[in-house]
């Protein structure tokens, strides 16, 4: 089970993680939280007025950071393609009313990963088994996907073939650790999906 999710009877999944794996996953999730940014602190713990929060306006322009642009793409038009003025207007309007909620969900997914990893007691070189309830699995899938999107953007991966070429990088290439993390996260994500549907 080491580094590979297995299904739990009654739903959910479990994975054995050693101290290094926990440290890497936690560090990546914290970096994702920093990339996404803080939430709306003025809304209070549950949001003072849910209706006002529902109609709160967010940004209308796509992020300039390539990793954030991958996490929060335009809803209209093809990525990287030039948009006509009408597509641009529709994308801006859609972003204005959806990006804040999407950021909140992505933030909650990453926080769920950090919290579940913090609950593990890993001693030395022994692995600890992390057991996730079905809802936690959904949050983990979201966070793993977001991590891969952000790392993929940093590595300029546009197609599956790109990651294969990056795998052949020499060990001294500074991108190699990021490539290995990208591939490892993909394996974790795939095994979690298989555990949930199997």
Q: pLDDT (tens digit, 9 = 90+) per residue, 93-150?
A: 888 888 899 999 999 999 999 999 999 977 667 889 999 999 999 999 999 999 999 9
Residue 174: count other Cβ atoms within 10 Å of its Cβ. Answer: 7
Q: Over 50: is that where the pLDDT of 1 sits?
A: no
**Structural domain spans, the chain:** 10-197
The pairing of beta strand 6-7 with beta strand 13-17: antiparallel
Cβ neighbors of 11 (< 8 A, separation 6 or more) are 133, 134
Contact 112, 134 (CB under 8 A): no
Provide the percentage of residues in the chain whose pLDDT is more than 90: 59
**Mean pLDDT over each residue of the chain, to the nearest integer:** 87
Q: What is the pLDDT of residue 125?
A: 72
Q: What is the pLDDT of residue 48?
A: 60
- Amino acid 65: pLDDT: 93
What are the phi and psi torsion angles at 83 (to 5°)? -95, 145
On whether the CB atoms of residues 118 and 26 are closer than 8 A, the answer is yes
Strand partners, 60: none
Q: CA torsion sign, 186 to 192 to 196 to 198? A: positive
Could you read off the pLDDT of 61-106 as tens digits, one per residue?
A: 888 899 999 999 988 776 666 778 888 888 888 888 888 999 999 9
Maximum mean pLDDT: which of 27-31, 41-45, 98-102: 27-31
Are 54 and 46 a contacting pair, CB within 8 Å? no
pLDDT at 190 over 50: yes
Secondary structure element (H or E) that encloses residue 6, with its range: strand 6-7
- Could you tell me which residues are beta bridge partners of residue 2? 16
The reported pTM is 0.85
* pLDDT higher than 50, residue 57: yes
pLDDT of residue 42: 46
> Which has the minimum average pLDDT: 11-25, 42-56, 86-100, 144-158?
42-56
- In terms of DSSP bridges, do strands 13-17 and 128-132 run parallel, antiparallel, or are they unpaired? antiparallel
> Which band of pLDDT confidence, cut at 50, 70 and 90, is reported for residue 165?
confident
SS (H, E, C) 155-179: CCCCCHHHHHHHHCCCCCCCCHHHH
Q: Are 110 and 32 in contact (CB under 8 A)?
A: yes
Q: Rounded to an integer, what distance in angstroms lies between the CA atom of residue 8 and that of residue 131?
A: 8
Q: Across residues 35-39, what is the average pLDDT? A: 87
Cα 67 to the center of its chain, rounded Å: 11
* Reported confidence tier of residue 40, pLDDT bands at 50, 70, 90: low
């Amino acid at each position: 089970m080491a580094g590979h999710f297995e299904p739990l009877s009654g739903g959910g999944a479990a994975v054995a993680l050693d101290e290094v794996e926990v440290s890497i996953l936690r560090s990546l999730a914290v970096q994702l939280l920093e990339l996404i940014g803080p939430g709306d602190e003025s809304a209070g713990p549950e949001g003072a007025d849910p209706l006002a929060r529902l109609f709160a306006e967010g940004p209308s322009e796509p992020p300039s950071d390539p990793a954030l642009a991958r996490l929060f793409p335009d809803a209209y038009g093809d990525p990287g393609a030039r948009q006509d003025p009408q597509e641009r207007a529709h994308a801006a309007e859609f972003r204005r009313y959806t990006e804040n909620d999407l950021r909140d969900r992505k933030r909650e997914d990453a926080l769920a990963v950090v919290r579940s990893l913090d609950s593990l007691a890993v001693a030395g070189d022994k692995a600890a088994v992390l057991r996730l309830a079905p809802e936690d699995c959904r949050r983990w899938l979201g966070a793993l996907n977001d991590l891969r999107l952000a790392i993929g953007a940093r590595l300029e991966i546009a197609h599956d073939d790109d990651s294969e070429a990056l795998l052949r990088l020499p060990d001294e290439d500074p991108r190699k650790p990021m490539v290995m993390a990208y591939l490892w996260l993909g394996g974790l994500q795939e095994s979690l999906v298989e555990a949930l549907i199997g």
